[in-house]
Amino acid sequence: MADNGIGWTRFPRGDAFFPEIRMTFREHAVPIVGITALLAWMEALLCFEGVLRDDVMYGGGIVHDPFFVGFALLGALGCVASVLISRYVDRSLASCALEGRPALYTAGVFGIVGTLGAALGVLCAESMPPWLSFACGACCGAACAWMLLRFCGIFAELDLRQTLVALMPTFSLQWAVMIAIPVMPLIVRPVFVAVLLVVSIISVARSCGSDAEGHGTPVNARTAVRLFRMVAAAFILSTIVQFLITYFVHGIDVPLDPAAFSMLFFFVMVAVFVVFAMIIRIMNSMEGYRVDLFYRTFFVICLACIGSIGIARSWHVASYIGMYVAFSLMVPVLIILALGISAVAPLNARQSSGEVLGSMFLGQLVGFVCAIALGSSNARLEGFIVLLCLMAVGSAYAFVFPESMLERMMPHAFKLERKTLERRCDEVAQRFELSPRETEVLVFLARGRDAAYVAERLTIAKSTVTTHRKSIYRKLGVHTQQQLLSVVDGEDLSLHER
């Protein structure tokens, strides 16, 4: 890999990118299949055309709506709880509570019970109390939050490039599962959806990954600001996307024919695949892993879908498909951003992912509730709604988390992911003749760790870490950690040579 002069990681010309995709699939097939199954399980429960669509109304007002509220609410609370545990609970206890087999099996039981309870409740929708649907949604939401964060921890162990390659097709393949669900017999659907969750649980159990690193480390002001703006952008975008999807279902006078559900998901799958394929081709021609292409494409699709609502009512179906495509782009971008900020800051993947995904769940809840409160479509309000949505999406792109901030953060993240960082530290150690112990300390310093953290991880005294750090600074000819990062990052390396 080389650097293209503007900070984006490069790969050789030609077809070098595509063998890397195949190699990533072979090496990490288990977590890729697992997160695909988890996303398909999630969509099958939350989509208005999924297994919880009852016969009372197209939107599933008796079963689906209370379930959705419980799912989103507990999903957000579960992410918040995970962040708090990661920050304030002892590392060993937090690891047991968040990563151990008991937590995995508990999440699985909650998810399966909630899935079967809600799906079977559709058969007797008119007699199913809303609180029971809400409780089933809460069980599934808590399980989903735990599983998503666990997968983030697994993918955090990979290079960010590998994570990007692995996530791209995943968000297209989930819709292939959704194509098959509408044509299944009603009694088979809940069992099939529960099997999807079981597949996801098995993949977590078989995959290694630990995001305990960075636990309890204070976050500096710059990282805190970036993370806050990322969380705010995630909340705004997920709110708008969910609002428009729900508004379509509850606001349009003529709902989709159930016979067209499979065709709807087919078009969504094809559209997502085409978008991902185009971005891969562009990245291959530009010789770089450009996360900004996903970010930019997501906003373009959002703006086009919102505009189509205001232009012609006959375009609503196309807009509806487009919002599902936008959602398929939004989730991987948010995961990549969360993992990226944890790669360049003293922050573990569970903390950053928990905050970003928690805001996504909360945004879905707010968008859903606002659309339900608005009720049926109103021609006089529709123009005002379109304007507000356009302003919200535009503000998120231009001011809250602009692309310029993404460009400043992600190139550094893609150059300093864990395996690449260790390789660069080894090169620096050989060049400046560092001892093996000094090389170990250098890796932690390059990740932004303090002396207390390094001492705990290496089981040595804090004063010994301080001595090694002084020796490293002297040999590299630097005086601050920022200068040390510049040396490791290869910036003006010759200026630091003795």
From the CA atom positions of the chain, what is the Rg in Å? 24
Query: Which of 41-55, 282-296, 412-426, 455-469 is least confident?
Result: 412-426
Q: Please give the mean pLDDT across all residues of the chain.
A: 78
Q: Check residues 408 and 492 and name the one with the higher pLDDT.
A: 408
Amino acid 53: pLDDT: 74
Q: Which residues of 27-42 are buried (b: 16+ CB within 10 A; e: fewer)?
A: ebebbbbbbbbbbbbb
Give the integer Cα–Cα distance in Å for 43 and 7.
36
Tell me the CA end-to-end span of the chain in Å, nearest whole number.
27
Amino acid 41: pLDDT: 93
Q: Mean of the pLDDT values across residues 90-113?
A: 76
| 322-332 pLDDT per residue, tens | 888 888 878 87
| 125-153 pLDDT per residue, tens | 677 888 999 999 999 999 999 999 888 88
Whether residue 248 has pLDDT greater than 60: yes
Amino acid 339: pLDDT: 80
Give the integer Cα–Cα distance in Å for 401 and 232.
8
In the block, which residue shows the tokens 């599983």? 147
Q: Check residues 210 and 109 and name the one with the higher pLDDT.
A: 109
Give the integer Cα–Cα distance in Å for 464 and 481.
18
Q: Kindly tell me the sign of the dihedral angle through the C-alpha atoms of 240, 241, 244, 249.
A: negative
Amino acid 362: pLDDT: 96
Amino acid 61: pLDDT: 63
Residue 452 DSSP label: H
Whether residue 250 has pLDDT greater than 60: yes
- Return the top range by mean pLDDT from 9-13, 118-122, 343-347, 444-448: 118-122
Q: Mean of the pLDDT values across residues 446-475?
A: 84
Q: How many Cα atoms occupy the beta-carbon half-sphere of 352 within 13 Å?
A: 33
Strands (DSSP E) found in 359-411: none
Q: Which residues of 193-226 are buried (b: 16+ CB within 10 A; e: fewer)?
A: bbebbebbbbbbeebebebbbbbbbebeeebeeb
Question: Are 193 and 139 in contact, with CB atoms under 8 Å apart?
Answer: no
Whether residue 214 has pLDDT greater than 50: no
Query: Which of 72-81, 278-287, 474-483 is least confident?
Result: 278-287
Amino acid 357: pLDDT: 92
Q: Mean of the pLDDT values across residues 460-483?
A: 86
